[in-house]
Each structure stands twice: as C-alpha cells, then as structure tokens.
Structure 1
Amino acid sequence: MHKIRAIDVDLTAGAIHFPDTKSGKPRWVHLTDEGIEFFRRHCLAKKPDDVLFTNENGRQYGASHQVRPMKEAITAAGLEGVGFHILRHTYASRLAMAGVPIAVIAEALGHADERITRRHYAHLSPSYVRDAIRAGLGRMGIFESDNVAPLVA
C-alpha cells in the first residue's frame, strides 16, 4: 500500500503521483477543486517526505486500518455490500454519466487500454457518440434559420 507523502501531491497540477501501482507503472491521479483544497490543507507544514495521513500516535496506517472504519460508515449509512472498490466504480460511473470520454475515464482508472472501460461504463453515456458528432460537425447550412415553430394543439 502506497503511503501518500507531501512530495507526491502536486497542488499546481492538481494531481497526486503514485509511483507504485498494481500495474507496476507509476501514474497520476487528477483531483477536483475540492480535492485540491483537501490536500492543500493536509500538506500544510509538512516536509516533502512526511506521510500525510497518520494515526493519533503519528504512525503510518497499515493496509488493514481502514477496514473497521469503512464497515462502521457502511452500517451507519444503512448500506450493504459496499466496499472500497465500489467507490472506484462510482467514480467511473459518474464520469461516464457526465459525458466524459471513455478514453479519459480509462486513463483516470489506470487501464492499459479503453476496451475494459468501454465494456463496463459505455452504457452509462449513451449520448456520448451523438453529442460528439453534433458538436464536431455543427450546422451544415442545409436549412436557414427561421422563426417557424410547430403549433401546439
């Protein structure tokens, strides 16, 4: 499990660098404006090699330290069958439903190519192709603009 250090957070670019990933390739995770502000606050007064998230004794969290708090949060929210991996699916699903291109979602998830991303998330953005074609082609000048409108019965 990678410990996020202050040096891993690039507040100017709004991203976190993960040098060690499951795929063995380093990657950047891009943050929302709220994410940038969250990490800005956690980086205050930290030295570059300081770990950002530590327990009440100042020690690094271990790989299993999130299990109990996550279970408590799930119970408090009245949810079942939710875990950390579902957060990843929610992230990707929300991006797809917002019309973010599949290639961008694949990159954000760290997928080597976009086929697996397309298989899992393309159905959530059915208007993506339509919207991209309409935006790319624009008006073709076949009809002149006018003020004709259908009568409402």
Structure 2
Amino acid sequence: MVNEKMTVGQYVDEWIDGKDDIKQNTHANYKRYIDKVFVPHLGHIRLRDLRAAQIKAMFDAHTHLAASSAQRMRAVLRSALSDALRGGLVTVNAAALVKLAGGRSRAQGWTKARETAWRWDVAALVEDGMTVARARRSAPRPSSSMVWTPAHLGAFLDAVADHPLYPLFWIASHCGLRRGEVCGLKWSDLDDATITVERQLVCTPDGIIEDTPKSDASGRAVSIGKAGVKLLTKHRSDQRAELLSWGVGKGSGYMFTTPTGETLDPHSVSKEFKRQVAAADLPPIRFHDLRHTAASLMLASGSDMKTVSEVLGHSDITITGNI
C-alpha cells in the first residue's frame, strides 16, 4: 500500500539507504546533496505533491552553484524520483520537468589574449587592495575548465622539476590520467613502456580508499614512451633510497607516495598542484585540467579522436568531443 503521507525527506533518506549499486564515494556525494539541499528545501513536502516549480525554486536559491554542479544534483533527484515512479509512489517525475542552465563547461585554451585579459583583471583587483593570491582566485576565467598550451605546460614542469611530485605531474599531463588513477598507480602496473590503470584512490568521509576505475572503459593500458620510462626508472630508484633513509623496507608498492611511503591524499595533491601553479605565475587550471591538456596536445600532434578517447578512458567518443 502506498504511503500517502510520505514526505520527500522520508523518501530520499530511505532511497539512499537502500542504494547499494553505486560506489562508496558516489554514495557519499548523493547523501551530501540529500542532507544539505534536498531535505532542507523539499523535505517537508508530501512526495505525491512534489512539483517541478518547487524543485526549480530550490535551485534558484542556490545561485552560487556552477551549472555543471546543478545538473549533477538534478540528475540525482531525477534518479530517486524515477525509482519512486516505478514503485507507484508518484505519478510523474517532477525533476525531469525542470529546465536548468547548460551543464558541462566546454574546455577552453589559455590563448595569449585570454591570459592577457586575465592578468589585467588580477592586476586591477590587486590595485583595489586584494592580495595576489585572492586576486588570482577571483579573476574571472573564460570557462571553469581551462587548458594550457605546450608552452604553459613546459614552463610548469620546468618550475617543478625538483619537486617530489614532479613524476606524478608529468604522468598526469602526458597520459591524461584522472587524479585518483595516477595516485592509485602501483609499480606492478608498469610493463616496459606501458602503465595499466586498474584502480583509483578515492577520498571518502571514512578516509582514502582503493576502488575500481570509474567505469569499465576507465580500465586501460596507456603508453608512456621512452621519456616516461626514463622518468619512472629514476623515480623508482629515488623512491627506494628515500624509503631506506626513513627506515622503511619494501614500501607499499604504490608508484607515488609520501616520503615515508604512505598513500597520497588526492585532495592534497590537488592543493599542492594549485600552489605550484601560483608559484610559477601561470594562468590557473585545475588538476583535472591536466587531463584535458594532455588530450589537447595529443589531438594537436595528430592523434585521432578515437585514440584520444581510448587513452582517456572515456566510455563514449562523444564525451571526448564534447569536452
């Protein structure tokens, strides 16, 4: 029998508690949307009375959200209501009727003109009394996803040549690995000039866990070339020497670790990348944009879209093209 009095809050809480077909980190993200947004705005409404206008009002109250974030949030609510529709709890999926601004931002390159405009904006903010660090964060960018030119990437790698994470930055920027994938690489994944992506490290409320790749297509073999082999050979020797200096024997087997051999925190890797980009005085990109930069460089060097899509581990070539 359908519970006519069930509220949206009661339903989404029960729905997420029974959602055992998604990854742990995804589950945590869904739960955060439910606790921080859905329940405070919609939780009191009877599930059968939920309307698209009420959902739209919820998103209108969160104007700070990026369009892509709002789209992801709507997708979660739409999924929950799809299950409710199949179960006869509602007669319409109200979330499917809500229109939002465009989703994923198309990656754009840091052309000379865009970089010049960005630097002018930074300088203006500094003149108004803002710190350089804050001005760099506040100055508008053409897109949330930006791509470096080969010159930018070269300047960055030169600037971090002596940094402990240099080999990780190099692999990420040349092979297009996701942050969790590169942090999760093990020496057993290296075979001649190829690395195999078999896992990822994921940050969850319970700590850092080792998980399977994002999708079936994400498990893949990627060539690192002669330069990559040379780089990792030296890195492995340096890593062994450093572990011995700390009194650590065999180590964890991970390719990239802390000086004492502990697993890297993916969030900390992103923060350190951001610090190094600022220190090198380069136009800002996210760590994830190293992946887009790698894709752009592969396409510019003559690789076809299908090959680039396979290297990136996209499930569909249209995803590569759209980004």
Q: Any gaps of 5 or more consecutive residues in structure 2? A: 1-179, 200-212, 241-249
Cα separation, 2, equivalents of 1:112 and 1:8: 21
Query: Where do 1:1-150 residues align within 5 Å?
Result: 1-2=180-181, 3-11=184-192, 14-20=193-199, 21-25=213-217, 26-44=219-237, 50-120=253-323
Contact 2:298 2:308 in 1 (8 A): yes
Size of the aligned set, in residue pairs, is 118
Shift of 1:40: 2.2
Cα separation, 2, equivalents of 1:39 and 1:81: 27
Contact 1:106 1:117 in 2 (8 A): yes
TM-score, scaled relative to structure 1: 0.65
Cα separation, 2, equivalents of 1:113 and 1:15: 22
Q: Any gaps of 5 or more consecutive residues in structure 1? A: 121-153
TM-score, scaled relative to structure 2: 0.33
Taking only aligned residues, the RMSD between alpha carbons, in angstroms, comes to 2.4
Q: What percentage of residue pairs aligned between the two structures are identical?
A: 28
Other-structure match for 1:149 = none
1 or 2, which has the higher helix percentage? 2
Amino acid at match of 1:22: K
Cα separation, 1, equivalents of 2:271 and 2:251: 29
State the secondary structure of the residue aligned to 1:83: coil
Amino acid at match of 1:23: S
Name the stretch that deviates more: 110-119 or 85-94.
Answer: 110-119
Contact 2:252 2:262 in 1 (8 A): no
Amino acid at match of 1:15: T
Contact 1:16 1:29 in 2 (8 A): yes
Amino acid at match of 1:114: I
State the secondary structure of the residue aligned to 1:56: coil
Cα separation, 2, equivalents of 1:48 and 1:10: 19
Deviation track 1:13-48 (CA, whole Å, cap 9, x = no partner) reads: x11111131114521122132112112223449769
